[in-house]
Amino acid sequence: MRKILILPILLAVLSGCSSHKPRVALFLYNGEDLFMQSFADKIVAMAGMDIELSVFDAQNSQLLQNEHIENQIKEGCDLMLINPVDRLGAYSVIRRLKSENIPVIYFNREPLFKDLLLWEKTWYVGAKANQSGQMQAELVMELFGNDPGNLNRYDRNGDGRIQTVILKGEQGHQDAEIRTSEVVRSFRLMGFDLDILITEVANWDKDEAYEKMDDIIKTYGHDMELVLANNDAMALGAIRRMRQKGMFKDSNGNGRVDMDDDSWIPVLGIDGLEQAVQMIEEGYLYGTVINDSLSMARAMRDLSEAILNGRNIYDLPYRIEDNKYIWIDYQAFIKNH
């Protein structure tokens, strides 16, 4: 019954496993999340030989993550890198870690500010979700000609409005909420009229997006002019279904998927997954906003080293907002950019 998948990646194989090595534990909310996979890979790759890093996959269960955290407290962990399942529950973890004097860096999912304040050795490394929404909107506006009053041919029905399907991440997830509302807000702010055909929650998941896209295409397939996904995984799932439903055809037979083709509809994601970048190169995915996990991983490594070695974290080349946040900017990415 117990399906605890623990992937202890011990990087201290060669150097003789001395017990002096600081122990760092990395907790992922879900190892099946493509973005988190590549994120974790980067963190692991960057971890030096001088620390002992273990990785734990919570499989989207806060209960499991709590158990992992508790075990790591017992094991004498020196620093925790937590990507929480339930960001609202972080306060109890933070209080517990405070009582154990274990510093913690949260990442990717942001606990409440008041919770971060509970323990001085708590930080957050991530990107501002609203920035991703804004950038996603900017990419679309550029595609549609940057003139709200005079949309180009991508406004297929020529009604001056963009009929949009939104694939939302996990409902209640901060990033999902903010990315969704921010992209919509940005359009409106710039005077673009958006018809939101439907906001479908697909929980960040490629397969779920693929499944849900089926009904969406049946209902809105003719009107649909834009698909905005809160992340790349859902965008990729959507594209797979759309291709099945006859979109992204190579009508002129030039061996490429062209944006000029009638069956081409712009799909945008966020995160900058490798697969997504590849799909952009192939012409299916219009663009993505890279959630710069590489820079985040680097910031986390630098912060971790400073914490473990007792150095002043304010000497690091990062702005630490409110003594808690290190923000990493998103980067817009489309073909030939």
Partner 1 sequence: MKKLIRIDLSIGQSILISTLTIVTVVLLVTGTIFYSTFSLRTDELVETQSREINKQIVLNFENYINSLIETANYIQTSSLNLDLQENRNRLQEIYVLSREGKRDVISIFLFDLEGNALLGGSSRRNRFLRPDMELWFLNALRDLGIFHFSPPHTLNSQDDEEVISVSKLVDYLDGGEQKKGVLLLELNFRTITSLAEKSNLGEGGHILILDDNDSLIYTSTEGQSAALESLSLARRQNLGGFKASINSIGMYGNINTLSQTRWRIVTMYNIDEIGRAKKQMFSVLSFILLGSIGITMSVAIFISRRISGPLNQLKKYMLRIEQGDFTSRVEVSGQREIVLVADSFNDMIDEIRSLMDRLITEQREKRKSELVALQNQINPHFLYNTLDSIIWLAENERSDDVITTVVALARFFRISISKGQNFIPVSDEIAHIRNYLTIQSIRYTGKFEYHFEINHEILGNKVMKLILQPLVENAIYHGVGEETGLITIRGYREGEFIIFEVENTGYGIPEEKIAQLYRILNGEEEGQSVGLKNVYQRLKLYYGDEADLVISSELDEMTNVRVLIPAAVPGGVKQ
Residues of this chain that interact with partner 1 (CB under 8 A) are: 62-63, 66-67, 69-70, 73, 85-86, 88-89, 91-93, 95-96, 99, 112, 114, 171-172, 174, 177-178, 181, 184-185, 188, 193, 196-199, 201
- Burial category of 154 from C-beta neighbours within 10 Å (exposed 0-12, middle 13-18, buried 19 and up): middle
Residue 199 CB coordination number (10 Å): 16
CB of 36 to partner 1, least distance (A): 18
Dihedral angle, C-alpha 329, 293, 104, 58, nearest 10 °: 130
Closest CA to 169 of 182, 188, 155, 185: 182
- Burial category of 179 from C-beta neighbours within 10 Å (exposed 0-12, middle 13-18, buried 19 and up): buried
CB of 1 to partner 1, least distance (A): 8
Q: Quick one: 169 or 287, whose CB is closer to partner 1?
A: 169
Residue 325 CB coordination number (10 Å): 18
β partners of residue 6? 56
Residue pair 77/25 in contact (Cβ under 8 Å)? The answer is: yes
Q: Quick one: 173 or 206, whose CB is closer to partner 1?
A: 173
CB of 234 to partner 1, least distance (A): 15
| CA pair distance 43, 32, nearest whole angstrom | 16
CB of 193 to partner 1, least distance (A): 8
CB of 30 to partner 1, least distance (A): 13
- Identity of the amino acid at 3: K
CB of 64 to partner 1, least distance (A): 9
Q: Quick one: 17 or 63, whose CB is closer to partner 1?
A: 63
| CA pair distance 192, 15, nearest whole angstrom | 59
Q: Quick one: 44 or 73, whose CB is closer to partner 1?
A: 73
Q: Quick one: 30 or 62, whose CB is closer to partner 1?
A: 62
| CA pair distance 317, 154, nearest whole angstrom | 43
CB of 5 to partner 1, least distance (A): 16
What is the token pair recorded at 6?
Answer: 């623990």
- Identity of the amino acid at 195: D
Q: Quick one: 199 or 275, whose CB is closer to partner 1?
A: 199
Q: Quick one: 160 or 246, whose CB is closer to partner 1?
A: 160
Running DSSP on this structure, what letter comes out for residue 321? B
